[in-house]
Structure 1
Amino acid sequence: MTFSLVARCEKTGMFGVAISSSSPAVAARCAYARAGVGAVASQNVTDPTLGPLALDLMAQGMSAAQAVDEVRRQGKFIEYRQVLAVDGQGRTAIHSGPNSLGIWTQAQGANVASGGNLLANDGVPQAIVDGFLGATGHLGDRLIAALRAGLAAGGEAGPVHSAGMMLVDRVPWPVADLRCDWTEDCPVGAVATAWDIYKPQLEAYVQRALDPRAAPSYGVPGDA
């Protein structure tokens, strides 16, 4: 009931995940990323332990493919799971268990992997990959473009209700973690709007965490 992508920015080394689903709060269960390590989406009858496991394995030096192979070995009921990973060199790997729901498929490109289940058609992940590779600008912009391309290609078999985007870059917390946990409207559009608002402030929020003395004005009453 989900379509997603994991990606790496070749220029900056930033990692990101973008995801949408008919289920509520999909990003809370399925999106994982760690600065300097990689990004993982764990979906389809979701086991939330698999994302952190794959990141830990890549942090120990495994490639995306090696980490996904080890997730297959260690994971429970792995025939029900989809796991997508990208590592620090832009290598990607995907596991899609044979018990994934409905129409399910996957696609990969340089620095990007996409997968989905209960899809409207089997071309959606490739459309997401193509959308990412054809977009320019900030990694967040490219993730949003890719997710929109997946929607335009058909998306899920039914309406989607939640979406999210996570970005990591140089610091040990997500520099962006934007979610729409439920809407009857388009959750991808809601996350895109949040990104448009958040993007100009992203670096300021990082600077405030690292050294508030050097941060831009907070823009609140009484702020000198």
Structure 2
Amino acid sequence: MAVQPDYQIIFQNKMIQANVGVIVNVLEDHMDVMGPTLDEVAEAFTATIPYNGHLVTIESEYLDYFKEVAEERNTKVIVADNSRISEEFLRKFDYMVFPDNASLALAVAEALGIDEETAFRGMLNAHPDPGAMRITRFADQSKPAFFVNGFAANDPSSTLRIWERVDDFGYSNLAPIVIMNCRPDRVDRTEQFARDVLPYIKAEIVIAIGETTAPITSAFEKGDIPTQEYWNLEGWSTSEIMSRMPP
């Protein structure tokens, strides 16, 4: 994954020279190097659009823009179609898959000339990414708790979609505990989550871990985060954090 726009140009035009390019989405992530606005992010992504090949992407406000660039490069655009993905199919995975994920893979298969049946079978047999969003059940069987691993989500939109998707799956959202991992090299992301994510999740406890948790603490003290309890565990070790967690 090349984040720097110059690296994207080098990876595509000098190294990989892919004839099938995929633009998954244009979201507020890595804005410090691709921003400052989503328009610049979209412009940076055009470096990955191949010449004389295929571009696979989703419906978005930047679709027409991507189509214009693709046309200039004699590249066919395939727009992923979520209507081809059933909820029944998504529930066959042992980790959380969003319709966009599956429809993009199906569109790539189309670009490669792979039939739909083979594509669906391949998705189910593929090894998931190590950061795949899994839901782990633990604690008492009669009153289970669930750990939702959403740490791979780097932007507000994706994080809130995970929260909504968990609810769609019917998992209990009573007395949720939200763990926010803060990184010293991503203070802007911490500020973004304090402003655009945590105020919209009604958690019983919000726990800030990692480093540079000040933006979360400040938002809580201002009353912007609707939680009954806030634990600032900045600098705590994993074992110390686990010892503090409720049984």
Q: What's the TM-score once normalised by structure 1's chain length?
A: 0.26
Larger Rg computed on CA atoms: 2
Which is bigger in relative contact order (C-alpha 8 A, separation at least 6)?
Answer: 1
More strand by share: 1
